[in-house]
Amino acid sequence: MSGLLYKNFRLNLASMIFSLITAAFCCLTMLLVCLFAFVLPGKTPEADDMQSLTFGFAACYFLAFWLPSMASSTLFQVDESKTCCAFAMSLPQGAKGHVEAKYYYILILNLSIMFITFVSDTVTAMMTGGMTDNTLVIVLLFALVLLLSAIEIPFMIRFGSQRGMAIKGAVVGGIIIFALLYLLFGDMSWLLESDNDPLTALMEWLQSGDMVFWLSLFPYVSVIAYYLSCRISVKIYRKGAENYEQ
């Protein structure tokens, strides 16, 4: 397995470096904001600053996780030929090892990004005197990226990387359209009739009643989905390999 992992890291070195630099750059942006807004003037954030800070952090961390996941197709493109697949299947680890190594690679890459964002979040918390803490956002973004990878990878393996990416786009697009339709035609009384601003009202709704319980299942569902996705991908690998062009 370590050999296959090494192969993935070696072949995708450029993409991996790009991912890590992107994540570091996104985090650096927030560090600089905190440096110039709070540390150098010697201020601590006030209640009014918190909303924009939280939103800014969430956006930066989202980009840190999201942009590298856009390049995930290259991981599969490099092996998308009949020769490569035949060679992978002839290895002692077989197709199972080959596919599992890809899943491990994505997991390690996302864990590395999570580490970068976590370090950045700790440093910004130190800069703002402990007023900001976005670790939960980081965990949820990590879970989201895992879930999307879990959906995307079996399609990439079965139908090729391009179609896999298209399906991922369709899933994300579908979610956005559903959200927009709900915002346009759904029951928004809980948000509009609230005394607070929409963001606070949304946070209150998320924390109300049993909603927290269903939301709390999200990271666990993502991990289970990732595991099941790996099992499915192993099973469909041979069929997918037959469709490759060369």
Distances (CA, A) of 122 to 8, 54, 119: 31, 14, 5
First to last CA, the chain: 26
Report if residue 143 touches other proteins, rule: CB under 8 A. yes
Which position among 6, 55, 87, 115 is part of the footprint of other proteins (CB under 8 A)? 115
**Both tokens of residue 138?**
């980081």
- Are the CB atoms for 144 and 222 separated by under 8 Å? yes
Report if residue 9 touches other proteins, rule: CB under 8 A. no
Q: How many residues bind other proteins (CB under 8 A)?
A: 26
In the complex, least distance from residue 121 CB atom to other proteins, rounded to whole angstroms: 9
Q: Name the residue type at position 228.
A: L
Report if residue 2 touches other proteins, rule: CB under 8 A. yes
- Where do runs of H (alpha helix) occur along 35-186? 47-70, 73-77, 82-90, 94-127, 135-159, 161-185
Q: Which is nearer to other proteins, 90 or 216 (CB)?
A: 216
Report if residue 129 touches other proteins, rule: CB under 8 A. yes
In the complex, least distance from residue 243 CB atom to other proteins, rounded to whole angstroms: 31
- Are the CB atoms for 135 and 121 separated by under 8 Å? yes
Of residues 39, 215, 41, the one with CA closest to residue 140: 215
Which position among 67, 135, 201, 202 is part of the footprint of other proteins (CB under 8 A)? 135
Q: Which is nearer to other proteins, 16 or 143 (CB)?
A: 143
In the complex, least distance from residue 75 CB atom to other proteins, rounded to whole angstroms: 20
Q: Is 81 left (phi over 0), alpha (psi -120 to 50) or beta?
A: beta
Q: Which is nearer to other proteins, 26 or 156 (CB)?
A: 26
Report if residue 24 touches other proteins, rule: CB under 8 A. no
Q: At what angle do helices 94-127 and 211-243 cross, to 10 degrees?
A: 140
Report if residue 84 touches other proteins, rule: CB under 8 A. no
Binding residues for other proteins restricted to 190-229, rule: CB under 8 A: 209-210, 212-217, 219-220
**Both tokens of residue 49?**
């600053």
Cα(173)–Cα(191) distance, rounded to whole angstroms?
24
Report if residue 50 touches other proteins, rule: CB under 8 A. no
Q: Which residues bind other proteins (CB under 8 A)?
A: 2, 114-115, 118-119, 122, 125-126, 129-130, 135-136, 138-139, 142-143, 209-210, 212-217, 219-220
